[in-house]
Chains A and B, each alone.
Chain A
């Protein structure tokens, strides 16, 4: 699990118009993991993928894949890398079977009908194998893109916004398929701006904005570092100021003293314990409350908070 399958070092891309899409990115992807690259539109996610897959020419830095420099071993490396692009880019007049078979051949593998059938069946495309791609629904077309990427049995698979524009049911179906690919030993790097997708799928998460990788960590560790518990106590009677018994807690009055807000903890449960202690302290201090609303911060809060900091000029 810890062996790196992909290493980016100081990866930089400045487009001819002067746009710096990647700014000195260092990243290590471990074999067998699902890594989610999270960022807003234009953050540099697709450029990063393109740099590894040969669609973009980096202007600086280096890429190591499968333990060797991509500059010199691009042929063998590309044969082991798959890409599902963000755009629905596929020959609309081609049949599903031909499109997937072509992908396999293009990557230098001998025809294997049984393997193609297995891929199509796993993606529920078998019944549509002789249909032209233009006849398929949007979700089915996206599955064709995945089938094409899987046709040459890649060890490292890039999924660029795999569930963009698909309905909730299909999105969950895609997550299941991604999980199955991981079970087969495929390392997966997915880009997304659906936070729930990263929360649901990823082992590790990287947050990218304006071409810079702001943070990379285990999903759980990220929650521990940046996660918060927030609790709102609805007070029975408004308070003019905080009593000194509550000074050890991270609390403040809001809504004209009718509500007490706690914000603290670290995403490991310490926050919840402190909320319970705070409730006892309120009772002991004779402060009556009529309700408690508790919320654990999500990856989305962390994401928004990190991007918010990024907006502030240094």
Chain B
């Protein structure tokens, strides 16, 4: 049984918090991504060879979008649950008649919504600098939603795991960003020499970038089925971990 009013309250409050920090939550990532697109897509991209049937500027759009999505979604979600733990306001949530479902839908739903808003702004802004197309817009939307949901959950787990601000920043900065850069954002895995092209497949972000690129241009380094499977698998794994956290009360209840 889901208490929808409680879920809606959590969801709404998180979005209000998002709007309250719009400069940091929206403007900063949009500006950073736009600069990447402007420099690598607009300025340098014109002098780069085409990547298959797509010019370089358009080629990097899905990767850059993924880079921002992963970082921002994880950060937003982890802050969403870490801050109440840090300030002590978590007592309200823990003493309320809400369980696993409401908390997850509220926090993760809000984090995913923020990511979708961010993705839409980035894509619209990118259109100013680079001429790109989306071959499968519905699938692209679905894929972005799937990634946003999975990494919102991942961020939620990070926010519960972290017991200081440093730990909160470690995963997005030291793990997600490097893996995304090395995950085919700016190049195709095919361009790597042997054995690096095979080693690169051990990087899970490759499948996410590749999946999103497929929805844009209809071709990618790995099959869309594999990308979708891995994203779904990660989502299910995160749901499982969060379920265990709620069942055991790990780092939530003494």
Contact = CB atoms under 8 A, between A and B. Distances in A.
A184 to B, nearest CB: 20
A131 to B, nearest CB: 15
Contacts, number: 74
Nearest to A107: B96
A56 B254 contact: yes
Contacts of A93: 20
A85 B254 contact: no
Contact of A89 (B9, B87, B96, B254): B87
Nearest to B87: A89
Given A105-B5, A105-B9, A109-B5, A87 B88 contact: yes
Contact of A81 (B6, B9, B94, B95): B95
Interface stretch (A47-55, A188-196, A285-293): A47-55
Interface residues of B, number: 26
Given A57-B253, A78-B97, A103 B6 contact: no
B15 interface: no
Main secondary structure, interface of B, reads helix
Interface string A88-122: 01111100001000110111111000000000000
Interface in A24-81: 47, 50, 53-57, 74-79, 81
A103 B20 CA distance: 19
Contacts of B153: none
A50 B6 contact: no
Interface residues of A, number: 33
Contact of B97 (A89, A92, A107, A148): A107
A105 B9 CA distance: 5
B206 to A, nearest CB: 39
B92 A108 contact: no
A75 B97 contact: yes
B8 A54 contact: no
Contact of A106 (B9, B20, B99, B253): B9
B167 interface: no
Interface in B1-51: 1, 3, 5-6, 8-10, 12-13, 16, 20
A228 B144 CA distance: 75
B164 to A, nearest CB: 18
Contacts of B254: 15, 47, 50, 55-57
Nearest to B106: A106
Closest 10 CB pairs of A and B: A105-B9, A89-B88, A78-B97, A53-B95, A79-B97, A75-B97, A106-B96, A106-B9, A108-B3, A56-B254
28 contacts: A47-B254, A54-B94, A55-B91, A55-B95, A55-B254, A56-B253, A57-B249, A75-B1, A75-B97, A75-B99, A77-B97, A78-B95, A78-B96, A81-B95, A83-B91, A87-B88, A89-B88, A90-B89, A92-B87, A93-B20, A103-B92, A106-B6, A106-B9, A106-B96, A108-B3, A108-B6, A110-B5, A148-B92
